Structure formats: C-alpha cells, structure tokens
Amino acid sequence: MPQSGQTWTTHEKLLEKHSVKIKKINEHLYELLVNPGFSIGQRALLILSESGNILWDCIPLLDEGLVEFINTKGGLKAIAFSHPHYYSNMKMWAETFNCTIYIHENDRQWVANGGDFIEYWPGNQLELWDQLKLHNIGGHFEGSSIIEIPWMSENGTLLIGDTMYLSPSMKHFATMRSYPNRIPLPLHEIRRIEKRFEEIQYDTIYGFYPYQNVNNNAKEIVRSSFAAYQ
C-alpha cells in the first residue's frame, strides 16, 4: 500500500485502461491477473475440474474476454476464498456465472455484499467434488483457508492465497496477523498452523503473487520455515 493510503475507483473506470491477463500454469490451472498491475497485484487462480470449475480468490476486474474464456472452459461451479481481502466484486462474479461462493463462517463479519450466492462453511474442512477440499487454517484471519487439489501434482497441490507469504528467495514461508503492518502471530498459533499443514499431503504450493509457485519440494520448505520460529 502506498504512503498516501487507499484510493477508490469503480469497475467501469477500471475497464477503461485495464484488462485481464490469462496465463496457463498447467492443464488444470490458469492464473488471472489485472494488467497493468492494480491494487496489490494479486492473482486469482482458475481450477479446471471434471465435475465443475472453481475460482480461487477474486480479482476486481471481470472483462468480456475473461468471461468468454471461462465459459469456453465450462464456466464456474463455485468461487472459494482464502480470506476477506479478496472478496472484492465477488457478487458480480457469482451473478455472471450463477455460481456458489464458499466462505468460512469465521469470516462472515467481513462480508459487505455477497447477495444470495454465499454458502458459509464451518469447521476445519469442507469436501467439495473431485477430491477438492477446503481447509480452514486461520492465522492471518480466523477464517483464512486453503484449497487442496490431490491430483494436480504427484503428492498434491495447495492454493494458499496469503495464508502464508512466500519470501522472494523462495526458501521461506511466513504467516502473520498483518503483513503490511508486520504484526506477528503468537507462537502457540504458529504451532497450531504448523500442525494443520503437517496433516495435509502436498508437494506443490501456489500463493497469491505470480512468482509464488513452489513445485515438488513445498512441504520441505514449509517444515523448515516453521522450524525457524522459536
């Protein structure tokens, strides 16, 4: 965030000078990014799955080219979120694709305008379809969550938003209450989150920035990252 603080715009104004850049990551995963960069530069991730596609997190721009692209891939069955910072214009997305929005019940208080599309889910885990699972991790927000895709890599893939933040070195994950304000989590909360990640099988992680792609050895990096907290 700039020193000048937040500023506001509309979807119509954003469409005047911005579009959505679509990048293929693998056969079942596409990156969606506002171009030129906008907000904090976060990406959304489109998961292509046999029984229905799911959008992981939202970007604040929905242009005609993106709508057409998603429809050619089978539309959306659902949208799921890592945490409230990416709710954005989720109602517009849900109306466009007539799909469900999955939000953890612990983050219900942060929803301003979701319409009738939202399904609040409770507990530690929600099984969707095609072995897709949402896991509530907490930490950054009480409802901070990740999605598990067991079949996307040899030992499973996680999309994590910024439930954890991968350093530019690609060698360390941090988890904090507030990343911009550098507010840490207490050690007991770090250990609880560590246990949650240890319970899940995975080797690949995709975060909220385009560079945050860790293939093959993600679990080892997560383990060494948690070991650094004393």
pLDDT for the residue numbered 39: 83
Number of domains within the chain = 1
| Domain assignment present for 120 | yes
Whole-number Å distance between alpha carbons of 172 and 174: 7
Residue 214, CA distances (Å) to 20, 159, 162, 206 in order: 23, 11, 14, 6
Residue percentage of the chain with pLDDT more than 90: 85
The boundaries of the domain holding residue 170 are 11-227
Whole-number Å distance between alpha carbons of 137 and 197: 8
| Domain assignment present for 6 | no
| Domain assignment present for 174 | yes
Beta bridge partners of 104: 121
Whole-number Å distance between alpha carbons of 46 and 39: 19
Q: How many angstroms separate the most distant Cα atoms in the chain?
A: 49
**Is the pLDDT score of 45 beyond 90?**
yes
Instruction: Give 3's pLDDT tier (boundaries 50, 70, 90).
Output: confident
Per residue in 134-179, pLDDT (tens digit) is 999 999 999 999 999 999 999 999 999 999 999 999 999 999 999 8
**How many beta carbons lie within 10 A of that of residue 194, not counting itself?**
17
Task: Give the domain CATH number at 205.
Answer: 3.60.15.10
pLDDT for the residue numbered 2: 67
| Domain assignment present for 199 | yes
| Domain assignment present for 158 | yes
Whole-number Å distance between alpha carbons of 198 and 206: 17
pTM of the predicted model as reported, rounded to 2 decimal places: 0.94
Per residue in 189-219, pLDDT (tens digit) is 999 999 999 999 999 999 999 999 999 899 9
Residues 58 and 93: beta-carbon distance below 8 Å: yes
Which is nearest to 159 in space by CA: 66, 70, 227, 57? 57
